């Protein structure tokens, strides 16, 4: 992989600085002990007309450092890594290399020592171009690197075009988005003992748009002790405190979830109304809740004003309201006061009349970074995940005992693996390590156990360990809807379909506007053969989130099973995920008797998905009743650690090959009951 030959000294003529007005910048990544080498490299490149971006030189004053790095890598046409023992050990360099790889940038590695690579760096640098400095002689190495950069774009000095796809492999339109949607919580809040740091109100992955208006009504019966906390409004002059306002609402919500007499609608559903002008009666009917909490935050210097009010959704009457003018350090005291006032207003007795005590973050700056990380995570895209991971890591660097930040980092790493932005062996192992760190920092956390369960299900295929982690999460927080939801997914994976439906319905009562639960409930009903009910669940998921990926694909399969071929094909053609859409079309065209059209679609799918969705190709062959090809692709999926395989047992897409002895053998290999 590395070029170990003695580097030749190249005479590279200096480029005319005006030769091209589109001189593309090269991003230089390095660890701080190698700053002198990096600076000399930049000087050599720029003398020869290759524009460079290097931190901290090119970080504008007042800019967020992480944001500047993200934007620079995104706009760069090539990426140069100063590769040394220092950079190998640097977490920020690893993230920069990973991002450059995900953005399909040409990567050049200037190796200045022989330190062994980590497995992650080996993976991300596997297709990079290497230049080695021999015996510390840097100028020949710089010259060779400049020549390699020029060679990659001979049309114009200093201009480096985007990396072209390898021969024979079609370019992906976007990073692979997973077809499966396993439930997991993601919005994290600070609590202690019974108020532990929790992951609330998220599934993974929630890659979807937001509906213009929720149109489904909750099916649960409204009780007089039910409440939802809506996102607080940022009333600050610069409108730059949204993360703080959201954090305020989430903390109050989590305090209320610890009151056994209260039914609290979780974050995912209540936050569907963020930024919308919807009357309280409609909100109450949609969420199935008697009361809602509204509030606002206005920050002025080191002080803030928080208002909160409790509203009865039956008639819109105000049951309680209060305004708090405090110093910023008193935020947690205000949250406690608001929660206690709400409990009193609802005439609920809590122990000796007080809420339980809770842990308060030790470092205000770390907590601020943590809240910004939650806000970045909520963007539900690759950039948001990367920024969230960086912010959570910065919070941990400031406060190594900050368990919530470790839990947040574990959640992000799980999403990154789930969405296919990194190899499974990289992403899932990172998620595992961060989750274990969070538990070591605070053994009372429920969320990290859910993450570990997810890793066991999707990556390890260790169903016993997954169930054990969920038992631990249940003991820590038995009222968390995500525990119910993920128990449903585990039951679905292991073939206990009635239990899966029951658990998902229990989660839905606390998360009535969460498309992920509706989507997974559709799975459970489809697997069980309850086709009308499965269709209803998928259509409700689309009502809540019309752009939610993979719903049209599975809805199309339900209609195919019902014999409605025309509408099945129409649903497949509406699917936004390209690989799912092509797989669906290939399946329906075959059912229609259009073998040539099905063959063409399957050929296209095979070119697109051979490396990252072998199980999807296998499912099309199974539907076409081609068992040999189906099992060949299933074996490839097994070798690739294809995360969709956890849903193989009883999957109706494989019904045509379910009686083949190879199917039972495959289940045994997956440690699944036959």
The per-residue pLDDT of the chain, averaged, comes to 78
Check: CB of residue 145 under 8 Å from CB of residue 131.
Answer: yes
Instruction: State how far the alpha carbon of 253 is from the alpha carbons of 372, 608, 617, in Å.
Output: 18, 44, 43
Residue 65 is predicted with a pLDDT of 66
Nearest to 243 by CA among 283, 265, 206, 274: 274
- Please say which residue of 127, 152, 177 terminates a domain: 152
What number is the average pLDDT over the span 136-153?
76
Q: Which has more confidence, 649 or 132?
A: 649
Q: Which has more confidence, 146 or 531?
A: 531
Instruction: Answer whether residue 472 is part of any domain.
Output: no
Q: Which of 84-98, 99-113, 185-199, 560-574 has the highest mean pLDDT?
A: 560-574
Nearest to 646 by CA among 654, 656, 638: 638
Number of structural domains (the chain) is 3
> Would the pLDDT of 653 be above 90?
yes
**CB neighbours of residue 176 within 10 Å:** 18
Same domain, yes or no, for 34 and 136?
A: yes
- Residue 231: pLDDT band with limits 50, 70, 90: confident
Q: Which has more confidence, 321 or 555?
A: 555
pTM value is 0.59
Q: Which of 297-311, 381-395, 518-532 has the highest mean pLDDT?
A: 518-532
Determine the distance from the C-alpha atom of residue 531 to the mean position of all C-alpha atoms in its chain, rounded to a whole number: 30
Instruction: Answer whether residue 105 is part of any domain.
Output: yes
Residue 384 is predicted with a pLDDT of 84
| CATH code for the domain of 242 | 3.40.50.10070
Q: Which has more confidence, 145 or 135?
A: 145
Q: Which has more confidence, 272 or 81?
A: 81
**CB neighbours of residue 278 within 10 Å:** 13
> Would the pLDDT of 201 be above 50?
no
- Residue 248: pLDDT band with limits 50, 70, 90: confident
Same domain, yes or no, for 222 and 74?
A: no
Distance CA(622)–CA(317), nearest Å, equals 58
Distance CA(377)–CA(410), nearest Å, equals 12
Is the alpha carbon torsion for 258, 262, 268, 271 positive or negative?
negative
Percentage of residues of the chain with pLDDT beyond 70? 81
What residue numbers bound the domain in which 255 lies?
A: 211-359
Same domain, yes or no, for 131 and 254?
A: no
Check: CB of residue 23 under 8 Å from CB of residue 48.
Answer: no
Determine the distance from the C-alpha atom of residue 606 to the mean position of all C-alpha atoms in its chain, rounded to a whole number: 26
Residue 152 is predicted with a pLDDT of 63
Same domain, yes or no, for 269 and 132?
A: no
Per-residue pLDDT tens digits for 447-466 = 899 999 999 999 999 999 99
- Please say which residue of 152, 173, 192 terminates a domain: 152
Instruction: Answer whether residue 107 is part of any domain.
Output: yes
Instruction: State how far the alpha carbon of 139 is from the alpha carbons of 11, 42, 602, in Å.
Output: 11, 12, 52
Nearest to 105 by CA among 59, 140, 149: 149
Distance CA(534)–CA(421), nearest Å, equals 30
What number is the average pLDDT over the span 284-302?
83
Instruction: Answer whether residue 382 is part of any domain.
Output: no
| CATH code for the domain of 636 | 1.25.40.10
Same domain, yes or no, for 148 and 215?
A: no
Among 98-102, 139-143, 353-357, which is the least confidently predicted range? Answer: 353-357
Instruction: Answer whether residue 179 is part of any domain.
Output: no
> Would the pLDDT of 14 be above 90?
no
> In the numeric block, which tokens belong to residue 439?
């538990």
Residue count of the chain: 674
Distance CA(435)–CA(661), nearest Å, equals 38
Instruction: Answer whether residue 279 is part of any domain.
Output: yes
Same domain, yes or no, for 122 and 231?
A: no
Percentage of residues of the chain with pLDDT beyond 90? 33
Among 24-33, 180-189, 202-211, 412-421, which is the least confidently predicted range? Answer: 202-211
**CB neighbours of residue 274 within 10 Å:** 16
Instruction: Answer whether residue 308 is part of any domain.
Output: yes
The helix/strand/coil state of 542 is helix
Whether cis (ω within 30° of 0) applies to the bond prior to 205 is yes
- Residue 320: pLDDT band with limits 50, 70, 90: confident
> Would the pLDDT of 324 be above 50?
yes
Same domain, yes or no, for 665 and 529?
A: yes
- 406 half-sphere exposure, CB direction, 13 A CA radius: 22
What number is the average pLDDT over the span 352-378?
71
Per-residue pLDDT tens digits for 583-605 = 999 999 999 999 999 999 999 99
Instruction: Answer whether residue 578 is part of any domain.
Output: yes
Same domain, yes or no, for 106 and 236?
A: no
| CATH code for the domain of 55 | 3.40.50.10140
Same domain, yes or no, for 249 and 120?
A: no
Is the alpha carbon torsion for 300, 304, 307, 308 positive or negative?
positive
Same domain, yes or no, for 308 and 224?
A: yes
DSSP β-bridge partners for residue 303: 300, 327
Nearest to 374 by CA among 251, 243, 266: 243
Residue 182 is predicted with a pLDDT of 45
Same domain, yes or no, for 133 and 216?
A: no
Element (H, E) at 306: strand 303-312
Residue with tokens 């979830």: 257
- Residue 358: pLDDT band with limits 50, 70, 90: low
- Please say which residue of 336, 359, 382 terminates a domain: 359
Same domain, yes or no, for 223 and 133?
A: no
DSSP state string for 140-184 = HHHHHHHHHHHHH-TTSTT--PPPPPPTT-PPPSSS---S-----
Q: Which has more confidence, 386 or 360?
A: 386
Contacts for 659 with CB less than 8 Å, ≥ 6 apart: none
What number is the average pLDDT over the span 463-475?
95
Residue 18 is predicted with a pLDDT of 31
Q: Which residues of 372-410 are buried (b: 16+ CB within 10 A; e: fewer)?
A: bbbbbbbebebebbbbbbbbbbbbbebbeebbbbbbbbb
Residue 303 is predicted with a pLDDT of 80
């Amino acid at each position: 992989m590395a070029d170990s030959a003695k580097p030749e000294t190249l005479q590279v003529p200096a480029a005319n600085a005006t030769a091209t007005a589109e001189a593309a910048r090269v991003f230089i990544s390095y660890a701080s002990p190698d700053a002198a080498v990096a600076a000399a490299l930049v000087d050599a490149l720029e003398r020869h007309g290759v524009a460079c971006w290097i931190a901290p030189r090119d970080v504008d004053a007042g800019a967020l450092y992480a944001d500047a790095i993200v934007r620079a890598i995104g706009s760069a046409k090539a990426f140069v890594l100063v590769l040394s023992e220092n950079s190998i050990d640097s977490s920020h360099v690893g993230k920069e290399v990973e991002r450059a790889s995900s953005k399909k940038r040409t990567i050049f590695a200037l190796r200045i020592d022989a330190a062994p690579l980590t497995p992650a760096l080996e993976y991300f640098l596997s297709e990079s171009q290497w230049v080695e400095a021999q015996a510390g002689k840097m100028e020949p190495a710089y010259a060779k690197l400049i020549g390699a950069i020029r060679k990659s774009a001979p049309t114009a000095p200093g201009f480096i075009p985007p990396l072209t796809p390898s021969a024979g492999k079609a370019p992906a339109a976007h990073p692979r988005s997973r077809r499966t949607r396993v439930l997991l919580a993601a919005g994290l809040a600070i609590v202690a003992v019974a108020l532990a740091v929790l992951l609330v109100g998220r599934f993974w992955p929630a890659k979807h748009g937001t509906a213009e208006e929720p149109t489904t009504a909750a099916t649960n019966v409204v009780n007089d002790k039910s409440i939802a906390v809506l996102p607080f409004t940022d009333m600050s002059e610069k409108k730059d405190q949204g993360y703080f306002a959201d954090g305020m609402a989430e903390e109050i919500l989590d305090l209320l979830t610890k009151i056994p007499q209260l039914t609290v609608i979780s974050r995912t559903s209540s936050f569907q109304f963020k930024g919308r002008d919807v009357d309280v009666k409609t909100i109450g009917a949609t969420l199935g809740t008697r009361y809602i909490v509204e509030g606002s935050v206005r920050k002025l210097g080191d002080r803030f004003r928080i208002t909160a009010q409790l509203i009865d959704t039956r008639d819109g009457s105000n049951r309680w309201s209060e305004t708090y003018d405090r110093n910023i350090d008193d935020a947690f005291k205000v949250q406690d006061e608001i929660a206690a006032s709400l409990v009193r207003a609802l005439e609920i007795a809590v122990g000796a009349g007080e809420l339980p005590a809770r842990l308060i973050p030790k470092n205000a700056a770390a907590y601020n970074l943590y809240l910004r990380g939650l806000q970045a995570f909520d963007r539900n895209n690759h950039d948001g995940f990367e920024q969230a991971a960086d912010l959570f890591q910065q919070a941990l660097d400031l406060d190594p005992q900050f368990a919530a930040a470790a839990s947040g980092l574990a959640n992000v790493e799980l999403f990154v693996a789930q969405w296919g932005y990194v190899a499974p062996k990289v992403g899932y192992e990172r998620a595992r390590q961060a989750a274990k760190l969070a538990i070591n920092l605070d053994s009372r956390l429920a969320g990290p156990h859910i993450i570990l369960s997810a890793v066991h299900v999707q990556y390890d295929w260790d169903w016993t360990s997954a169930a054990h982690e969920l038992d631990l999460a249940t003991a820590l927080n038995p009222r968390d809807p995500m525990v119910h939801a993920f128990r449903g997914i585990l039951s679905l994976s292991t073939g206990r379909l009635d239990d899966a439906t029951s658990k998902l319905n229990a989660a839905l009562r606390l998360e009535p506007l969460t498309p992920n639960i509706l989507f997974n409930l559709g799975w459970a009903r489809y697997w069980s053969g309850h086709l009308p009910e499965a269709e209803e669940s998928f259509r409700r998921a689309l009502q809540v989130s019309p752009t939610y990926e993979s719903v049209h694909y599975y809805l199309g399969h339900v209609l195919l099973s019902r014999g409605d071929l025309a509408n099945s094909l129409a649903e497949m053609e509406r699917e936004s995920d390209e690989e799912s859409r092509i797989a669906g079309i290939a399946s329906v065209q075959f059912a229609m008797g259009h073998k040539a059209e099905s063959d063409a679609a399957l050929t296209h799918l095979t070119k697109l998905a051979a490396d990252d969705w072998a199980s999807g190709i296998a499912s099309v062959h199974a539907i076409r009743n081609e068992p040999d090809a189906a099992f060949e692709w299933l074996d490839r999926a097994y070798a690739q650690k294809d995360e969709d395989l956890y849903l193989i047992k009883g999957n109706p897409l494989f019904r045509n090959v379910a009686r083949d002895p190879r199917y039972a053998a495959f289940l045994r290999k997956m440690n699944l009951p036959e």
